[in-house]
Amino acid sequence: MGFNIPYTDKKRVVIIGGGFGGLKLAEKLKKSKFQVVLIDKNNYHQFPPLLYQVASSGLEYNEISFPYRKIFQKRKNFYFRLAEVYGVNPKGHTIQTSIGELEYDYLVIAAGTITNFFGNKTIEEQSLPMKTVEEALALRDTLLINLEKATTCTDPDEKQALLNIVVVGGGATGVEVSGALSEMKRFVLPKDYPDLGNFHMNIYLIEGSSKLLGAMSPEASSNAKRFLEDMGVNIILQKRVVDYKDGNVFLDDGQTIPTRTLLWVSGVKAVHFDHIEGELLTRGERIIVNECNQVKGLSNIFAIGDVCWMAEPDYPNGHPQVAQVAIQQGELLAENLQRIEALKKPRPFHYKNLGTLATVGRNKAVADLNKVKLHGFTAWLVWMLVHLRSILGIKNKLIVLIDWIWNYFTYDRSMRFILFIQKHKQDGTQGTEPTL
């Protein structure tokens, strides 16, 4: 097994990761004189901002995913390879992957982040993260299977535990999935599960700091909290989850919450590669880069997006780990690689903040657009337009728009399919195993 990529007189740019940054870089190198190789462990680009809608049965996974080979059809001097990258050899100018070794002239690390469990192995093994399509589907299956179990459960305490959902992390993902689950509770459960009787789904959103949406303005945080509380979400601030055992979530103040569904969206850390370590890394295992996204001390290795850390005057602690940073860095790096080849000085990166958005539910969202702060219906419309525009493929855009319109007027979410066999142990652990 090998890469089966021919050597030519063109310099080879290898891109690890086809997220927002890697995809933008590959697109912008379309008319360059480079040979471009994109490597990803999935054969599709996914749209993470809408994963929570897959998890809450609002959208299907294929509506927010798009195959790389479809994106780059008929592209000359471009190669996609499905592989997992394990390590980087800066001295030999090679990378080690699951399908062999590959040489590069320029290497761009755009692998993004994974869920950070902060060293808590129990939480890592038993909670449900939501960083990928597979994890969103696993969460959807867990929710639906627990509802099915609740309809047949005769023990009142166990029945309520099956209906309790704990979301850990009050960032955009935690806020958005809590709002979506609240709408599911209000509009779907009474119709689909009338036999639950007087038992109700309880949604708990736990955040260790003093406010939700820590990266947004105080106005956005306050409005999001108010929206969620009006929707019946139980918000717990300034408390941390320390353990999950025997189907109970334990908080640092001794409080316990019985649940069979623990969703962990409390933080992320950069994807790690062998030999990119030590002084090259900083908080969250992010790779330190200079103002041109070059990795510290390595002139032909670059990092962009969530995986990298760059300081500039307006962002002394590094840029926020959001899509726009990755997209802008990918676009500039495509230009800089060509400038370097032409023996010109690369241009430094400066992040242009286009604003931050978060939706809470139907007609409810918050938006920080530079000096303009929006909330409610107007912010919700802006959120919809921005996300719809960002989805790849005209067909996907149309399908998502139709689904949103249908859900809006029918108050229904029809993608409630159980696709995996769940392994629910007696001790309350969770997991998934694909059906064959």
Residue where a domain terminates, one of 265, 281, 300 = 265
Residues 104 and 149 reside in one and the same domain: no
Q: Nearest Cα to 124, choosing from 115, 133, 113?
A: 115
Indicate whether 398 belongs to any domain: no
First to last CA, the chain: 26
∠ Cα 58 60 66 (to 5°):
130
**pLDDT of amino acid 368:** 95
User: What is the pTM (predicted TM-score) of this model?
Assistant: 0.91
Indicate whether 424 belongs to any domain: no
Q: How far apart are CA 94 and CA 104, in angstroms?
A: 6
Indicate whether 312 belongs to any domain: yes
Indicate whether 380 belongs to any domain: no
Residues 130 and 141 reside in one and the same domain: yes
Residues 256 and 143 reside in one and the same domain: yes
* pLDDT tens-digit series, residues 19-73: 999 999 999 999 899 999 999 999 999 999 999 999 998 888 999 999 999 999 9
Indicate whether 129 belongs to any domain: yes
Residues 106 and 202 reside in one and the same domain: no
In sequence order, what DSSP letters do the residues of 129-140 get, joined into one string?
--SSHHHHHHHH
Q: How far apart are CA 268 and CA 284, in angstroms?
A: 7
Residues 88 and 132 reside in one and the same domain: no
Contact 95, 74 (CB under 8 A): no
Indicate whether 67 belongs to any domain: no
Indicate whether 232 belongs to any domain: yes
* pLDDT tens-digit series, residues 285-304: 999 999 999 998 899 999 99
Q: How far apart are CA 127 and CA 142, in angstroms?
A: 11
E-strand ranges in 104-233 read 106-109, 113-115, 164-168, 202-207
In sequence order, what DSSP letters do the residues of 292-306 get, joined into one string?
TSBBTT-TTEEE-GG
**Mean pLDDT, all residues of the chain:** 92
Q: Is 122 left (phi over 0), alpha (psi -120 to 50) or beta?
A: alpha
**pLDDT of amino acid 413:** 64
Contact 291, 9 (CB under 8 A): no
Per the DSSP assignment, residues forming a β-bridge with 106 are 13
* pLDDT tens-digit series, residues 103-158: 999 999 999 999 999 999 999 999 999 999 999 999 999 999 999 999 999 999 99
Residues 261 and 294 reside in one and the same domain: no
Indicate whether 281 belongs to any domain: yes
- The tokens 């307006």 sit on which residue? 314
Number of structural domains found in the chain: 2
DSSP character at residue 399: H
Q: How far apart are CA 302 and CA 311, in angstroms?
A: 15
Residues 131 and 221 reside in one and the same domain: yes
pLDDT at residue 1 is higher than 50: yes
Residues 133 and 213 reside in one and the same domain: yes
Residue where a domain terminates, one of 340, 373, 396 = 340
Domain boundaries, position 220: 119-265
Residues 225 and 323 reside in one and the same domain: no
Residue 415 — pLDDT band, cuts 50, 70, 90?
low
Report the interhelical angle of 377-390 vs 394-410 (nearest 10°).
150
Burial of 84: CB neighbours in 10 Å, binned 0-12, 13-18, 19+: middle
**pLDDT of amino acid 420:** 63
Residue where a domain terminates, one of 242, 265, 288 = 265
Residues 324 and 234 reside in one and the same domain: no
Domain CATH code at residue 160: 3.50.50.60
Q: How far apart are CA 266 and CA 137, in angstroms?
A: 19
**pLDDT of amino acid 198:** 76
Q: How far apart are CA 361 and CA 100, in angstroms?
A: 46
Strands 113-115 and 106-109: unpaired
Residues 195 and 154 reside in one and the same domain: yes
Q: What is the mean pLDDT of residues 156-176?
A: 96
Q: How far apart are CA 333 and CA 348, in angstroms?
A: 9
Residues 132 and 228 reside in one and the same domain: yes
**pLDDT of amino acid 429:** 44
